[in-house]
Amino acid sequence: MPKPNNSCFLGLGSNLNNPNKQLKTAIMHISKLAETQYIQSASWFQSKAWGVTEQNNFINTVIEIRTSLTPLALLKAIKVIEYRLMQRQANKKWHTRKIDIDILLYGRQRLHRKQLIIPHPLIAERSFVTEPLLQLKPYLPVYLRQKLRFRQKMHPINSELKLIQPQNPKQLARQQT
């Protein structure tokens, strides 16, 4: 088995069926993926729903993994976790969900396919992504830093988030094994 060599950042969110438990379960499944190593988790934040706002608040975090899976193979594995292992229901965009896992960054790669865009096109628009991502990766690529600076001027990040669980990077993976 190849040694996992691509640093990836995944955004996780849930607002159904005990969201804290859903995030822990998703992290456990991700840590068991072939050719993949769980590295750490950022703090967990509560945020208001984004897009469709008339729903429960979300709990969100970002995790770092290392993987030898290609971006599309990682996406396929994530969809298995979301839909088969965690029984996520297919619903309308931005509605309630048991689990949502997005590939935010995959090494330094940029990819634009119908099913996957890397970096995630809405990173700088979502404080529930940028705050935990910056905890794990404080030095973002220049084009993302520029987008983020503009967004921060318009909407201060911390004003939209409530800290739920402070960062304790390795503890979650140990709890699940």
Calculate what percentage of the chain has a pLDDT beyond 90: 37
Q: Tokens in use for 90? A: 């297919």
Residue identified by tokens 């001027």 is 153
Tens digits of per-residue pLDDT, 100-109? 999 999 988 8
Q: Tokens in use for 36? A: 């993949």
Q: Is residue 131 classed exposed, middle or buried when 0-12, 13-18 and 19+ CB atoms within 10 A define those classes? A: buried
Contact residues for 121 (Cβ-Cβ < 8 A; gap 6+): none
Tens digits of per-residue pLDDT, 156-175? 555 567 877 776 645 544 44
Write down all domains in the chain, each with its CATH number in brackets.
6-176 (3.30.70.560)
pTM of the model: 0.83
What gap in Å lies between CA 10 and CA 90, rounded to an integer?
20
| Structure confidence at residue 56 (pLDDT) | 86
Average pLDDT over residues 73-87: 88
Q: What DSSP state is assigned to residue 85?
A: I
- Output the furthest CA–CA distance in the chain (Å, rounded): 46
Instruction: State the alpha helices, DSSP H only, in 15-119.
Output: 19-31, 71-79
The full 3-state SS of 135-173, as one line of letters, equals: HHCCCCCHHHHHHHHHHHHHCCHHHHEEEEECCCCCHHH
